Amino acid sequence: MTTGSPTTARSRRRALRVLVGVVAAAAVLGVALVVVPMLRPAGPRPLFQLPVTCGETWQLGTYPGHDDYDVDLFPIEGEAWGRPVLASYAGTVTEAGINGSLGGRNPENPEGPRGRGGGYWVKIDHGGKWETQYLHMLEPPLVKVGQQVAQGDQLGLVGSTGNSGAPHLHYEQRRGWEKVETHFDGEPSGITTDEREYTVQRTSGNCPPGVS
């Protein structure tokens, strides 16, 4: 007799059933860990501030084909090139690099070849499913993925990398997977559609503590 005893065969089958059970339980747990946070409602809107220097007035605008809720920021005085881009609110950096391609537009060559997408960009997770993103920056971001930033920390410089016609800051606020109307200092921007050109001016309240 060379075959295994019935007892051994039975214990092998039992071990296989246990293994299948453990794998199935792990799969269910894994799905739950991913899905449950996605179903959780978003937290309250953070008190976002304009992503530019305290006290400066900038034009916020959109144009047909931009995308609903997207905001382009241009300073109303002085050059846009190289102006500081600041965190709207405290959070954790989740993207800091190149989106699409850079192209070749810079202060020395403002009409250089256009890139694709967002160019040098940063994305911040503010918790409670809230995120902001900052596109077309001139140089590599000044922050790294995983870094904690405070409101007002500098992320980079205004530029025209990626698919950008002129130096400006493209900015978005997101709740969950959705873009939402941008709010600054608790006030909505009024930019909710890209059906027509629209601009509004706002003064930055992104000020160090104790300054207003």
Give me the least distance between CB of 168 and Zn ion, in Å please: 7
Give me the least distance between CB of 63 and Zn ion, in Å please: 8
C-beta closer to Zn ion: residue 148 or 195: 195
170 touches Zn ion by CB under 5 A: yes
C-beta closer to Zn ion: residue 83 or 170: 170
3-state secondary structure 110-137: CCCCCCEEEEEEEEEECCCCEEEEEEEE
Read off the amino acid at residue 90.
Answer: A
131 touches Zn ion by CB under 5 A: no
Binding region for Zn ion (CB under 5 A) out of 10-18, 78-86, 144-152, 170-178: 170-178
Q: How far apart are CA 114 and CA 55, in angstroms?
A: 32
172 touches Zn ion by CB under 5 A: no
C-beta closer to Zn ion: residue 6 or 65: 65
Q: How far apart are CA 182 and CA 72, in angstroms?
A: 11
Give me the least distance between CB of 107 and Zn ion, in Å please: 19
Neighbours of 126 (CB within 10 A): 22
72 touches Zn ion by CB under 5 A: yes
Give me the least distance between CB of 96 and Zn ion, in Å please: 19
Q: How far apart are CA 134 and CA 22, in angstroms?
A: 44
Round to the nearest angstrom and report the end-to-end CA distance of the chain: 91
Neighbours of 144 (CB within 10 A): 10
C-beta closer to Zn ion: residue 113 or 165: 165
- Tokens describing residue 156: 């980079």
Contact residues toward Zn ion (CB under 5 A) are: 72, 170
